[in-house]
Amino acid sequence: MTQIKIFDTTLRDGEQSPGVNLNQLEKLEIAKQLERLGVDVMEAGFPASSQGDFDAVQKIAQTITKSTVAALARANKNDIDRAWEAIKDAKKPRIHVFIATSPIHMQDKLKKSPEEVVLIAEEMVRYAKEKCTDVEFSAEDASRSELPFLAEIIEKVIAQGATVVNLPDTVGYTTPKEYGEMFKYMKEHVPNINKVDLSTHCHDDLGMALANSIAGVQNGATQVEGTINGIGERAGNVALEELAVTFEIRKDFYSFTTNFILNEIKRTSDIISKLTGMVVPGNKAIVGRNAFAHESGIHQDGVLKNAQTYEIITPALVGVTSNSLVLGKHSGRHAFKDKIVQLGFELSEDKVTEAFQNFKLLTDRKKEVTDDDLFVILMDIQTDVQTRSQYQLEAFQVHYHSTDVPTAHVTLTTPKGDTVSKQDVGNGSVEALYNTIEHLIEEKIELTDFTLSSIGKGKDALAEVHVNMNVNNQAVSGRATAQDVLEAAANAFINAINRAFVTMKK
């Protein structure tokens, strides 16, 4: 078996998904879970892109001990300085320098000749290497680059000390055969290629990211880059859980393995879906809600007789457990703390107290409190602290009648501690609520996306709302969970506003 290194870029390329906007605590929470999952490398962000991303990468670098922490940089000194500044405290830091090598990118985007690009790449890899021993070089748009030119630039960056060379299919254009052949070509034409790890980085524009990544490793790549749930720029990146489980389930066919702790996959997927607001489609391989559901009679009959008739992956392999009824109205703090540990959280005593109070409130309103419900309560406690001293929803009332104009009345506490109330109308209940809150807050707000989903099943399932909006022209997201849809909607809106003010204050 050949061990393939997994480079997770959920926190960088994944965060480039439209509408995804993670704050520092959320990025840190995801980073900790990625480490539990066993990723070899995590790309924590692009520090030169904003102060917020710099701070998040720095915090991750100071926290993570087992995985290598990488930071992305364009091939210029400022980006490399920012990347190094952010990750220099990491146990295992890596600077990831990239520059495009395809004719169209060099000519029309960078406006540089191929010779200039080679010189920049060499100089910047050398510059990064002076700071950090582990330097990855990516030839952006490699799959549309000319192979002899690609071979030349790769040999030259290896001479400057690159430790990893990544050949991305940046626009998801390539086919498995072509992508595999590119790796084979480099193996045959770059004299020092065996000094580095060769890496794949595939996008899913034509739905071939997984097939292309596998073709890469079959032709000499020893690192695969991708994201959990396949999130990322445009159609996303290869879904790493699909790659790791494919190697496990088809080990009779492929001779590759990864360090993934497979039964951490579902938890990782859930955390990322919840914090990014990118809902996992029900039919998504490995982690979709229906991935292990059998609907039709013939299938159910087969599964009852022998699960393997229709089930190639056991749910437990990837950490899918039955959603058991766990704690109830009469449960005490000890059992609650025990459950926190079982669900994989580490909370301070203060946070346990807060979570316990929220749990008790929920047991008054909901008959069955499931693991999914608790997971949401705990994740909210773990990631929401930054916004607590901002706007708070005190009370609201919505009047809806099929023949009347929906009207909302909202009372908020402002960051200064004042209590303010207003009433307004809208075309629907949510719009009436949002118009009212907007008037109370007196900021320029434009809602760009609204997603409502349910946590668990049944009439008393919790409602989860995720919103994307512009607050004073700043893109921001917000989320909230409540038993009532309107309460979740109002709180998600306020959460986004609070997050906008936290960023503005910086």
Ligand X SMILES: CC(C)C(=O)C(=O)O
Please report, as ranges, the residues that interact with ligand ACO according to CB under 6 A: 13, 16, 46, 48-49, 74-76, 98-99, 109-110, 140, 170, 233
Cα torsion 57, 60, 65, 69 to 10°: value is -30
Cα–Cα distance between 419 and 411 in angstroms, integer? 7
Q: Which does 303 bind (CB under 5 to 8 A by kind): ligand ACO, ligand X, none?
A: none
Residue closer to ligand ACO, measured from CB, 127 or 247: 127
User: 377-406 burial by CB neighbour count: b if 16+ within 10 A, else e?
Assistant: bbbbbbbbebbeebbbbeebebeeeeeeeb
Residues whose CB falls within 8 Å of the CB of residue 10, separated by 6 or more in sequence, listed in order: 30, 34, 42, 227, 228, 229, 231, 272
Q: Does 495 bind ligand X (CB under 6 A)?
A: no
Q: Which does 110 bind (CB under 5 to 8 A by kind): ligand X, ligand ACO, none?
A: ligand ACO
Residue closer to ligand X, measured from CB, 186 or 374: 186
Q: Does 166 bind ligand X (CB under 6 A)?
A: yes
Query: What angle do the packed helices 176-189 and 147-159 form, to 10 degrees?
Result: 50
Q: Nearest 5°: phi and psi at 471? A: -110, 115
From 93, 168, 180, 319, residue interacting with ligand X (rule: CB under 6 A): 168
From 17, 102, 138, 258, residue interacting with ligand X (rule: CB under 6 A): 138
**Measured from the CB of residue 100, what is the shortest distance to ligand ACO in angstroms?**
6
Residue closer to ligand ACO, measured from CB, 146 or 301: 146
Please tell me whether residue 324 adopts helix, strand or coil conformation: coil
Question: Alpha carbon 118 to chain centroid distance?
Answer: 33
Please say whether the dihedral angle defined by the alpha carbons of residues 487, 489, 490 and 494, taken in this order, is positive or negative. Answer: positive
Cα–Cα distance between 494 and 491 in angstroms, integer? 5
Q: Which does 138 bind (CB under 5 to 8 A by kind): ligand ACO, ligand X, none?
A: ligand X
Which range binds ligand X by CB under 6 A, 166-174, 333-341, 388-396, 400-408? 166-174
Residue spans of beta strands (DSSP E) within 158-240: 164-169, 197-202, 223-226
Q: Which does 49 bind (CB under 5 to 8 A by kind): ligand ACO, ligand X, none?
A: ligand ACO
Residues whose CB falls within 8 Å of the CB of residue 472, separated by 6 or more in sequence, listed in order: 443, 444, 500, 504
Is the Cβ–Cβ distance between 77 and 143 less than 8 Å? no
**Measured from the CB of residue 163, what is the shortest distance to ligand ACO in angstroms?**
18
Cα–Cα distance between 129 and 450 in angstroms, integer? 45
Residue closer to ligand ACO, measured from CB, 69 or 410: 69
Cα–Cα distance between 420 and 442 in angstroms, integer? 12
Q: Which does 75 bind (CB under 5 to 8 A by kind): ligand X, ligand ACO, none?
A: ligand ACO
Q: Nearest 5°: phi and psi at 22? A: -95, 140
Q: Which does 201 bind (CB under 5 to 8 A by kind): ligand ACO, ligand X, none?
A: ligand X
Q: Does 170 bind ligand X (CB under 6 A)?
A: yes
Which residues is 474 bridged to in the sheet?
471
Cα–Cα distance between 502 and 452 in angstroms, integer? 25
Tell whether residue 201 is among the known ligand binding residues.
Answer: yes
Q: Which does 486 bind (CB under 5 to 8 A by kind): ligand ACO, ligand X, none?
A: none
Cα–Cα distance between 51 and 70 in angstroms, integer? 17
**Measured from the CB of residue 272, what is the shortest distance to ligand X in angstroms?**
18
Q: Does 201 bind ligand X (CB under 6 A)?
A: yes
**Measured from the CB of residue 103, what is the shortest distance to ligand ACO in angstroms?**
15
Please say whether the dihedral angle defined by the alpha carbons of residues 45, 160, 150 and 68, taken in this order, is positive or negative. Answer: negative
Q: Does 134 bind ligand X (CB under 6 A)?
A: no
Cα–Cα distance between 442 and 440 in angstroms, integer? 6
Q: Does 46 bind ligand X (CB under 6 A)?
A: no
Residue closer to ligand ACO, measured from CB, 108 or 484: 108
From 8, 13, 26, 438, residue interacting with ligand X (rule: CB under 6 A): 13
As a three-state string, the secondary structure of 62-99 is: HHCCCCEEEEEEECCHHHHHHHHHHHCCCCCEEEEEEE
Fill in the per-residue mask, 209 to 248: x = in contact with ligand X (CB under 6 A), - = not in contact. Answer: ----------------------------------------
Q: Which does 74 bind (CB under 5 to 8 A by kind): ligand ACO, ligand X, none?
A: ligand ACO
**Measured from the CB of residue 406, what is the shortest distance to ligand X in angstroms?**
44
Residue closer to ligand ACO, measured from CB, 143 or 170: 170
Which residue ranges are tagged as binding site for Mn(2+)? 13, 201, 203, 237
For binding to ligand X (CB under 6 A), which residues are involved?
A: 13, 98, 138, 140, 166, 168, 170, 201
